[in-house]
Amino acid sequence: MIKHTKDITIRHIWEARKQIASIVNRTPLIQSAILSEKVGRSVYLKLENVHEVGAFKVRGAANKILSLSDEEKKRGVATFSTGNHGMAVAYVANKLGMDAVVCISNRVPKAKVDSLKRLGAQIEIVGDSQDAAGERCYELEREKGVTVIEPFDDPHVIAGQGTIGLELLEDLPNLTDVIVPLSGGGLLSGIGLALKANDPNLRVTGVSMEHSAVMYESLKAGKPVKLDESETLADSLLGGIGLDNRYTFKMVQQYMDDVVLIPEEEIAYSMAYMMDKHRMIMEGAAATGIAAILGEKIPHQDGDMAVIISGHNVDLSTLLTLIQQYTFENK
């Protein structure tokens, strides 16, 4: 059992890779010719949007749920989520024949709610924030004995997300920069640990939206803080990090070299740009990394750059509206 931040090691990420292999497929890594030409170095896209649930979250959810005892599996699981983690938990639980309750706020987009329903999860819509959904989730734990599958601040979840880092290292021996969407920090913590355990000089940059970037504000304050959620295209990056955060706050402090905040207009432009140039659907959270590259916000250095394309779960009506706003003839 992993009990403290210092106890999460590269060994746990290798163990996670083995444990989740029956449920989680290795994802493709492709070079983007147009982005590489723009920045004058090789840019690769790590396509976490091709998972069956459309996001990287299935890695951490699978590792956590598969680590439960038989008795815990019988009692079922519950989680709170801005959408993607909930879908991942529902997907894994369905695969294993387990019951799952997903608590979400009323901010979660319809596309994600519809996906949760298709995956067979019991859905509870609570309040205006992920924090409110989380409070209900822990009520269910006390009332029904279910196991709460936390969205990020859990060692098994962190190790599961870290398997992305192992794949990057295997596929890109000349890797020098990795751009990672940043919210609660589970993704960046896992990838950062995997990368820097192998090469401390690898640069890890977190990207988030300008408003309600709770991890960013927490790092500035030197401790976890709570913020009201704002409307954003990067809805997957909403939610608090927990005032009693045990793991990800310290790990992000340790493994992140820089953080970039992206304005809403640049997120919107990047979503439309990638649909036009790559014919690739991506949600706002995933587009923050693309926006950092298009805006030349990543310092130039030799070596390959990888961007984590974290998910594609966006309402198509939203994407269509964005595409109609921009033209890209020679941009």
Residue pLDDT, tens place only, 15-31: 999 999 999 999 999 99
pLDDT score, position 3: 47
Inter-residue contact 252 to 185 (CB < 8 Å): yes
pLDDT score, position 240: 86
| Average pLDDT in the chain | 93
pLDDT score, position 329: 59
- In single-letter form, the type of residue at position 216 comes to Y
Inter-residue contact 50 to 77 (CB < 8 Å): no
| For residue 104, pLDDT beyond 80 | yes
Residues 6+ apart with CB under 8 A from 63: 16, 19, 20, 156, 157, 159, 160
Return the higher-pLDDT residue of 281 and 301.
281
Query: Strands, DSSP E only, in 73-174?
Result: 77-81, 100-104, 122-125, 147-148
Inter-residue contact 156 to 15 (CB < 8 Å): no
| For residue 258, pLDDT beyond 60 | yes
Considering the entire predicted model, what is its pTM?
A: 0.92
Reading the block at residue 201, the tokens are: 């000089």
pLDDT digits (tens, 9 = 90+) for 189-224: 999 999 999 999 999 999 999 999 999 999 999 999
Query: Which span out of 96-110, 203-217, 233-247 was modeled with the highest average pLDDT?
Result: 203-217
- Say if strands 43-47 and 29-31 run parallel, antiparallel, or are unpaired: antiparallel
Token look-up 């079922």 returns: 76
